[in-house]
Amino acid sequence: MLHPALTPLINPPTDVGRDLEDLRPEGTIEEAREAFHAEVAALDAMAIMPLPDVNIAEAEIPVEGGTISCRVYHPHALKSDMAAPAVLYLHGGGWIFGNLETHDDICRMLAHHTPCVIVSVAYRLAPGVHFPVPLEDSLAAYCWLRDKAAELSIDNSRIAVAGDSAGANLAFGVSRLATRAGIEPPRFQLLLYPVCDLIALTTSRKRYARGYWLDSLDFQISCYIGSEADRNDPRASPRLARDLHIMPPTRIVTAGYDPLCDEGIALAEQLQNAGVITERVHFPQYIHGFASLRGLLPEVDDVLREQAAALSRWLAA
């Protein structure tokens, strides 16, 4: 049964962000993006419990053609004379939405409940850029984090990647590409309701395609890819990768009322079959994007603490 607190988000009467398939004129992406970000901010403002206080700094990461922004979260409890583990966090939003602000809650919670430095990355968004640019930005951020380890007081042998939705898709890609390139891969990856397959026609995609806070997935994918052939590229569709055995230990979190539920569960099974240590966590009452819904679901704080505990365990010295 769907969690009753989520009913306000189900089949809302008017919702600019949910009907993106109908948006084609120039400029409407920016308008829809602003509407989505405003919606997330309004939901954040409904949260009863205040966010934890952590130290925050901003930085710029060089990428091909310019720079991208990142936000670095240091827990107050970190000792300045010790190199801390770190987590590279890649936000969700279907590759067209999301920024450092929309996922500030998640990153603050992870920073507060782990002994880790959390680095949230504002990779470039579609349709301004297409696949594989957001993935290349994410890999550049991972390499930057490793290179800047001493400056950031980070132990670069204890870095994880994490992300939600499209960000989880990118996090998986970072782990795989780093390993294939001979770069020390992340020690662990945390994937919250990941996009796993750009050609999937699963039961959950059909059942929850409309009205469950992820109505525009097909449109988001069409904005992200540069050509239809990209859908079959394992860098974009992790389930199509034939070298899953090289992946680091993985935790995949799925939600019962999520179009992406089935493919997340399937990827977890594929990783397990390939010999990868895989933790599977399922929340049957929740919808896609629930980690950003503290304003409606106070329980999300407990969920985030649980994910923080997993990160802490895998990044322990």
CA 88, chain centre distance (Å): 10
**Which residue among the candidates 104, 105, 258, 262 is catalytic per the annotation?**
258
Residue 185: left (phi > 0), alpha (psi -120 to 50), or beta?
A: beta
Cα(251)–Cα(232) distance, integer angstroms:
24
Residues near 203 by Cβ (< 8 Å), separated by ≥ 6? 262
CA 116, chain centre distance (Å): 17
pLDDT tens, 143-164? 999 999 999 999 999 999 999 9
pLDDT tens, 41-61? 999 999 999 999 999 999 999
Given a cut of 50, whether residue 204 has pLDDT beyond it is yes
Helix (H) or strand (E) holding 122: strand 117-122
Lowest mean pLDDT among 72-76, 134-138, 195-199: 72-76
Q: Rounded mean pLDDT of 22-44?
A: 78
Given a cut of 70, whether residue 183 has pLDDT beyond it is yes
Structure tokens at 67: 């720079």
For the question of residue 165 being annotated catalytic, the response is yes
Helix (H) or strand (E) holding 290: none
Structure tokens at 7: 């009913």
**55-63 and 84-90 strand pairing:** unpaired
Lowest mean pLDDT among 26-35, 71-80, 181-190: 26-35
**Which residue among the candidates 3, 91, 113, 288 is catalytic per the annotation?**
288
For the question of residue 258 being annotated catalytic, the response is yes
Nearest partner of 182 among 147, 143, 220, judged by Cα: 143
**Which residue among the candidates 165, 175, 216, 292 is catalytic per the annotation?**
165
The Cα-based distances of 30 to 27, 143, 232 in angstroms read 6, 30, 28
Structure tokens at 250: 């993985």
Cα(212)–Cα(10) distance, integer angstroms:
5
The pLDDT, as a whole number, for residue 12 is 55
pLDDT tens, 215-265? 889 999 999 999 999 999 999 999 999 999 999 999 999 999 999 999 999
For the question of residue 91 being annotated catalytic, the response is no
Given a cut of 50, whether residue 14 has pLDDT beyond it is no
Confidence of residue 25 (pLDDT cuts 50, 70, 90): very low
Quote the mean pLDDT of the chain: 93
The pLDDT, as a whole number, for residue 21 is 44
What's the total number of domains in the chain?
Answer: 1
The pLDDT, as a whole number, for residue 16 is 40
Nearest partner of 308 among 15, 106, 103, judged by Cα: 106
Cα(13)–Cα(31) distance, integer angstroms:
19
Structure tokens at 228: 């239809």
pTM equals 0.95
Strand order in the sheet with 117-122: 55-63, 66-74, 117-122, 84-90, 154-164, 188-192, 250-257, 278-287
pLDDT tens, 293-303? 999 999 999 99
Q: Rounded mean pLDDT of 185-208?
A: 97
The pLDDT, as a whole number, for residue 18 is 43
The pLDDT, as a whole number, for residue 27 is 53
The pLDDT, as a whole number, for residue 11 is 77
CA 83, chain centre distance (Å): 25
pLDDT tens, 85-130? 999 999 999 999 999 999 999 999 999 999 999 999 999 999 999 9
Helical residues (DSSP H) of 28-132, grouped into ranges = 28-45, 104-112
Cα(192)–Cα(290) distance, integer angstroms:
9
The pLDDT, as a whole number, for residue 93 is 97
Q: Rounded mean pLDDT of 193-219?
A: 94
Percent of the chain with pLDDT over 90: 87
The pLDDT, as a whole number, for residue 32 is 86
Q: Domain range holding 233?
A: 4-314
Nearest partner of 139 among 175, 100, 187, judged by Cα: 175
CATH number at residue 248: 3.40.50.1820
Cα(168)–Cα(83) distance, integer angstroms:
26
